[in-house]
Structure 1
Amino acid sequence: MSNGAAVVVGVDGSEPARRAVRLAAGEAARRNRPLRVVHGFIWPLLRVPVGGPVDTGLRHQAQEVVAAAVAEAEAAAPGLRVTGEIIDGEAAAALLGETPTASMVVLGDRGLGGFAALVIGSVAIQVAAYADCPVLVARGAERTAGPVVVGVDGSALSRAAVEFAAEEAALRGTRLHAVHAYTHPVSAGPGDMQPLVYEEGQLRGEEDRLLTESLAGLADRHPQVPVTREVRHGRPVAVLTEASRTAQLVVVGSQGRQELSGLLLGSVSQGVLHHADSPVAVVRTVGADGGG
């Protein structure tokens, strides 16, 4: 990723996409990055004659969607470098094609093609599952106060999420709130038998140590970021959802230590995407720095 890597935002003219544009403009401005507005134009894939009145009309409509998003971004962050492009292809594929060179990708939780009954759209799920950079999903309340919350479970992706979240907290001038939720003892390794009875105090001490180890060195790397810690007995999705109600942003790794390696997007990250009351960032790549 180059130092000039853009923040990329996907647009389709929907209200969730407009929220994503405002969120992306703020991210690009904080990071001193250009903003790239992308619209996936699916019409050429439908094997209809190109250049006819329908195709021309729809392409003009797509151009208007991009132009409106560019104008909204410029209004949200005056002085921001903003460009727009229509990419022939389905929305998720168009956005995923951007991720190898992007600082991050931002999108709405649901687009024009989404079903109203779906809390989170299929495009958001696909992009979060496969992206080569952090994915920021605009959902919940837009807040300028409150902490950046990060879910911690000791996995490699969790550590990458902590680093990204600390950077976000530094850029936003706020504190980092690290949350570790547990429902049973941590497994020592594959095939490890969990005891049927365990001492709560001892278990709590082990979970506290896991969180402490996951945050080791953070104060040296980000001395300007105050860090608060929370260890809670409870399901991670429920605990993080509760924390999201006062957060500017919730950050999760795409997959946790207790989840099957074959899952591209783990149940916790999906659950948080479905239920959080704040924007959610999903970090899928170990070592992702979010372009700071």
Structure 2
Amino acid sequence: MAVPPVVVGVDGSESALDAVRWAADEARRRETLLRIVHAYQIPTGYPQGFVDVKMLHDVLLAQGKEWLVRAQEVAEEAAPGLTVETVGVQAPTVPALEREARDAAVLVLGSRGLGGFTGLLIGSTAVTLVTRAACPIVVVREPGRDGPVVVGVDGTPASEAAIAFAFAEASARDAELVAVHVWSDLLLEVAFAGEPAMLDVTRLAEEAHGVLGERLAGWQEQYPDVVVTREVVRDRATRALLRRAEGARLVVVGSRGRGGFRGLMLGSTSQHLLYHAACPVAVVPARPE
């Protein structure tokens, strides 16, 4: 069976070219095709005769072709011999990339776009895609370093896909894997439940270590080459993962978590990482039940 391609969205920005470099390296490691996609949209709502729609279409099309050519050059420089395919499509960015994600191994995006009619990641585009895409999404905020792959583990089956992705990335990159489980929010949950007698810090810490071990069971046997460091942290999930992103080559989180005070990957945590992490961030959708 053919290996799904790595897809990267581009808009002519330097951030998008950083994403192309990361995606080219990923496609090389996976021994698969790199598909570079540029989506553009003709603006609407102008008074009749105010804008020559055909001329605007031609300008955007020519501009997109130039950006795709440049992106292909960058990809081939980053991974010589890589098979590269470029695609220009007239469509809104989010639906176009969402369609691409259906058949992709990974969808890679830059963290900042140009804005205007071709801006790829201005505003909520990346956040919208990570809630909809059928494949893992990697947002390349910084090129990444030679440090570990970091994965957030929330203790539920929803994080299983993120753990699998993180082990595979660590193995392919010959990197250490740091598995982080945060447990301080459990204290708040117990307190709000009106059971202060249950605030046994030692017991909660032991339970957190057990949860992390349970979630990692089996993966270390499947990837014996990966050195795993387990970290059980009494902290807020966002703060703990942002701190560990410094010096990391990749941070991996799930697209949703437990919810409530236990929500490691739900809502604000993954979004905060996308906006502020000092390395590429992978958001991995949970496997279907």
Answer whether TM exceeds 0.5 for this pair. yes
Tell me if 1:16 matches 2:18. no
CA distance in 2, matches of 1:194, 1:12: 52
| Superposition map of 1:160-239 within 5 A | 160-185=161-186, 193=193, 195-197=195-197, 198-239=199-240
Q: Deviations over 1:195-243 (max 9, x none)?
A: 3241111110011111111101111111111110001111000000000
Partner of 2:66: 64
SS of residue matched to 1:63: helix
The Cα shift of 1:267 comes to 1.9
Kindly provide the amino acid, as one letter, of the partner of residue 82 in structure 1. Answer: V
Q: Is the 8 A contact 2:153 2:212 kept in 1?
A: yes
SS of residue matched to 1:146: coil
CA distance in 2, matches of 1:8, 1:194: 49
CA distance in 2, matches of 1:34, 1:283: 20
The Cα shift of 1:275 comes to 1.9
Q: Deviations over 1:238-281 (max 9, x none)?
A: 00000000110000001111349xxx962221122122110000
The Cα shift of 1:157 comes to 2.4
Kindly provide the amino acid, as one letter, of the partner of residue 140 in structure 2. Answer: A
SS of residue matched to 2:109: strand
Could you say if the C-alpha distance between residues 216 and 113 of structure 1 is closer, same or farther in structure 2, counting changes exceeding 3 Å? same
Partner of 2:252: 251
Q: Is the 8 A contact 2:139 2:280 kept in 1?
A: yes
Tell me if 1:123 matches 2:122. no
Where does structure 1 differ by over 6 angstroms across 4 or more consecutive aligned residues?
44-51, 186-189
Q: Is the 8 A contact 2:113 2:122 kept in 1?
A: no
Q: Which moved more, 1:50-59 or 1:208-217?
A: 50-59
| Superposition map of 1:259-270 within 5 A | 259=260, 266-270=267-271
CA distance in 2, matches of 1:248, 1:206: 29
CA distance in 2, matches of 1:6, 1:50: 37
Q: Is the 8 A contact 2:144 2:247 kept in 1?
A: no
Q: Is the 8 A contact 1:44 1:50 kept in 2?
A: no
Partner of 1:3: 2
Partner of 1:75: 77
CA distance in 1, matches of 2:96, 2:45: 16
Partner of 1:150: 151
Could you say if the C-alpha distance between residues 79 and 50 of structure 1 is closer, same or farther in structure 2, counting changes exceeding 3 Å? farther
Partner of 1:290: none
Q: Is the 8 A contact 1:44 1:89 kept in 2?
A: no
Q: Is the 8 A contact 2:138 2:281 kept in 1?
A: yes
Q: Is the 8 A contact 2:148 2:249 kept in 1?
A: yes
Q: Is the 8 A contact 1:12 1:39 kept in 2?
A: yes
Q: Is the 8 A contact 1:110 1:124 kept in 2?
A: no
Kindly provide the amino acid, as one letter, of the partner of residue 196 in structure 2. Answer: L
Q: Is the 8 A contact 2:19 2:139 kept in 1?
A: yes
CA distance in 2, matches of 1:148, 1:202: 29
CA distance in 1, matches of 2:85, 2:266: 30
Count of paired positions = 277
The Cα shift of 1:90 comes to 1.3
CA distance in 2, matches of 1:120, 1:154: 33
Q: Is the 8 A contact 2:22 2:143 kept in 1?
A: no
SS of residue matched to 2:186: coil
Could you say if the C-alpha distance between residues 258 and 187 of structure 1 is closer, same or farther in structure 2, counting changes exceeding 3 Å? farther
